[in-house]
Structure 1
Amino acid sequence: MEGWASLEHYRAGMLLSGAGDAIGFKWEFEFYGPVIHKEVKQMGGLKKINVKLPEWPVSDDTVLHLATAEALATGKEDEELLHEVASRYKEGMKDMKDRAPGASTIIGASQLNPGSKNGYRIPYNSKSGGCGAAMRTMCIGMRYPRPEQLSTLVAVAVETGRMTHPHPTGFLGGVASALFAAYAIQRRPLTTWGLGLLKEACPVVKEFVKTAGYAVSETEKDWGYFCDKWEWYLILRGLSTGKGPVVWPAKYGPEERDEAYKSFSWSGWGGSSGHDAPMIALDALLGAGSNWIELMDRVAFHGGDSDSTAVIACCCWGLLYGTEGVPPCNYINLEYRDRMENSAEKLYNLSH
């Protein structure tokens, strides 16, 4: 794994994911990007944002990403791992005061029954296409980062995603976030990520769903939207062959990005669904390169579900670039920082 992400990159992935979440969460329910940019400017810019309690808590995204990461860090596998994750999700739901969890997450977690037969599965829910799985699975890519581990990454991302989001638009978002983290660790070119999701991961997911034998017909009926929307996005950005160069609009400031993210979305709230939270994250990564401030402008300061898009993009960015160029005040006093660093270390050791 020469040239791949180091332990420092793993730490940065978990930490910056939490930092992006906390910063994006501040404006999750402000629906106009230019207003957010103005407020950030009035604060003195990103470099002056000191992320600490009580003003900057992490949202449900990080609480559940940590639950997933700490379950994976036990080293358990297969069904034992799934029961462990389900148990930690139920525990995580006790830590949701003022963290704004979504309806599918609340309902799904309440139906989990870890320890009993198939207790990590819930009934199919045709309304569970939101981003609740996508926001908490990057650590799965950190645990299973090698190309030959794709089938394991998919199995774990699908089953943990379906614990709250059994609709394919929901759990495929979880697969996308896990896959993108693995791609970041592998140093795979960003222009290939979307194509890899569609052509490499999605067929494996489809096969896994059939083999696992749970909600097969419902999943197949609702399957098309996620892949169709991603194909549309790759055409839009000139990435259908995975080569680029990326095609950007002539003007792509805060206002234009708000409109673009709405066009990515299912219901007009960019990043709130399983397909478009990782899509906006990738869009921001493609546009920002190694510039943290530019990344946050694109992924955390927009009129959509800004914490969910940031939690994904910032994890991948940290895995790619570490903390270089990130103002320490953005993460040094972050809530649950110790847990993030500890789980990152354990995941790194398990993946090597």
Structure 2
Amino acid sequence: MEKFKAGMVLGGVGDALGFRKGRWESCTSGRKIQEELESLGGLGALKLDPDQWPLSDATLMHMTTAQALITDYWSLEDLYRELVRLYVGAMVSLQGRTPDPTTVEGCVHLKPHNVLLAWHTPFNEKGSGFGAAAKAMCVGMRYWQPERLENLVEVSIETGRMIHNHPTGFLGSLATALFASFAIQGKPLGTWGRELLKVIPRAEEYCRKTIRHMAEYQENWFYFEAKWQFYLEERGLEKEGQNKPLVDNRYDADETDKTYKRWSSEGRAGRRGHDAPMIAYDALLIAGSDWAQLCRRAMFHGGAGEATGLIAGCLFGLLYGLNQVPSSLYQDLDKRERLEQLGEALYKAASAEKSIDK
């Protein structure tokens, strides 16, 4: 249970650090961000509070998704209706937090009063952003057991495509949900990327079964897989048994930015559903249990640090708990109590389901 709570809380910490009230969100240089951090006294001197280090809309959407997942739903359709209701309601609380335009636009197409089609939204050419990936770790926490993989695939895709109805967007939510489940299961980190590519055919099969937008999906499906295949080859992780990443020793802030831009689709690292989980995963692989190094790679780079920070922070918490992290970073964190409550409730919901099965 403690690691579930740590996952939710450290996701918030990673988001707040990468966001810095919108200031670092728009900075394109990791070196400048890290120099500014040093001028504040370094990571260890920071005290995160709701005024100066608020959560961005990404964590609020993750919390909203978690809220739906802990309700007492009878069927997945009931869960999707509840998600629609909560997502539409969340648009009010996102005011003043510079919400992602795609998220706002996507919510407009949700139909909370249409019982049958509430979560059926049109294909969205602009729906390839990180928003779906950044709110799906809780799906993996709810359905973390290997025997729940079918639920994980379905729920991560549906939660993703409600607002980001594009394969690059909703396959990102599959990736982060899957990685969260792997963290809880204790799967070796070096295998996660390969395992993701093995699960993607299940996602395609599910989408075919639902008979929605397959023509548009097929035109865009290959991109996500190709980018991940390229990443695994670059890090020397594409073959079974290769679990240690190949990393250049000169991997400083500038090199990090160059590498991340190469993985991106438009030169803005972490903006899309394929590279936000990729950057978070890469940072975890290289940093291990070193929280400070994780922050340098996942939160303090010249890209969407709030999204990559949220994903990496959550996965770090699920893997290692809070012990490696200075308490000043989470003691007064924005909405910390609620994040802990959601982590505990997700743990109980997942455990209850397992005991019912037995």
Once the two structures are superposed, residues 166-207 of structure 1 have per-residue CA deviations (whole angstroms, 9 ceiling, x without a partner) of: 1100000000010000000001011000001101x2011000
The amino acid of 2:343's aligned partner reads A
Q: Is 1:282 paired with 2:281?
A: yes
TM-score between both structures, scaled by the size of structure 1 = 0.96
Matches within 5 A, 1:48-127: 48-76=45-73, 77-116=75-114, 117-127=116-126
Q: Is 1:9 paired with 2:3?
A: yes
The amino acid of 1:322's aligned partner reads G
TM-score between both structures, scaled by the size of structure 2 = 0.95
SS across alignment from 1:163? helix
Once the two structures are superposed, residues 234-269 of structure 1 have per-residue CA deviations (whole angstroms, 9 ceiling, x without a partner) of: 000000024232101231111100010100101000
Look up the match of 1:341: 340
* Distance of 2:262 and 2:97 partners within structure 1: 27
Look up the match of 2:132: 133
Bigger Cα displacement from structure 2, 277-286 vs 328-337: 328-337
Report if aligned partners of 2:127, 2:165 keep a CA contact under 8 Å in 1: yes
Look up the match of 2:355: none
Please, which of 177, 201, 204 is the counterpart of residue 202 of structure 2?
Answer: 204
The amino acid of 2:181's aligned partner reads A
Look up the match of 1:28: 25
Matches within 5 A, 1:217-296: 217-242=215-240, 243-296=242-295
Report if aligned partners of 2:9, 2:336 keep a CA contact under 8 Å in 1: yes
Report if aligned partners of 1:191, 1:286 keep a CA contact under 8 Å in 2: yes
* Distance of 1:55 and 1:229 partners within structure 2: 36
Q: Which runs of 5+ in 2 are unaligned?
A: 352-358
Look up the match of 1:187: 186
Once the two structures are superposed, residues 135-180 of structure 1 have per-residue CA deviations (whole angstroms, 9 ceiling, x without a partner) of: 1000000000011111100100000100111110000000001000
SS across alignment from 2:333? coil
* Distance of 1:291 and 1:345 partners within structure 2: 25
The amino acid of 2:326's aligned partner reads P
The amino acid of 1:28's aligned partner reads E
Once the two structures are superposed, residues 208-240 of structure 1 have per-residue CA deviations (whole angstroms, 9 ceiling, x without a partner) of: 000111111111121000000000000000000
The amino acid of 1:18's aligned partner reads G
* Distance of 2:43 and 2:113 partners within structure 1: 44
Look up the match of 1:39: 36
SS across alignment from 1:133? helix
* Distance of 1:215 and 1:279 partners within structure 2: 26
* Distance of 2:276 and 2:323 partners within structure 1: 25
Q: How many residues align?
A: 345
SS across alignment from 2:184? helix
Look up the match of 1:4: none
How much is the aligned-residue C-alpha RMSD, in angstroms?
Answer: 1.0
Bigger Cα displacement from structure 2, 64-73 vs 87-96: 87-96
Report if aligned partners of 2:179, 2:315 keep a CA contact under 8 Å in 1: yes
Look up the match of 1:146: 145
Look up the match of 2:354: none
Deviation at 1:99, TM superposition (A): 2.0
* Distance of 1:75 and 1:21 partners within structure 2: 29
Report if aligned partners of 2:189, 2:243 keep a CA contact under 8 Å in 1: no
Report if aligned partners of 1:83, 1:115 keep a CA contact under 8 Å in 2: no
SS across alignment from 2:243? coil
Please, which of 213, 216, 241 is the counterpart of residue 215 of structure 1?
Answer: 213
* Distance of 1:75 and 1:224 partners within structure 2: 37
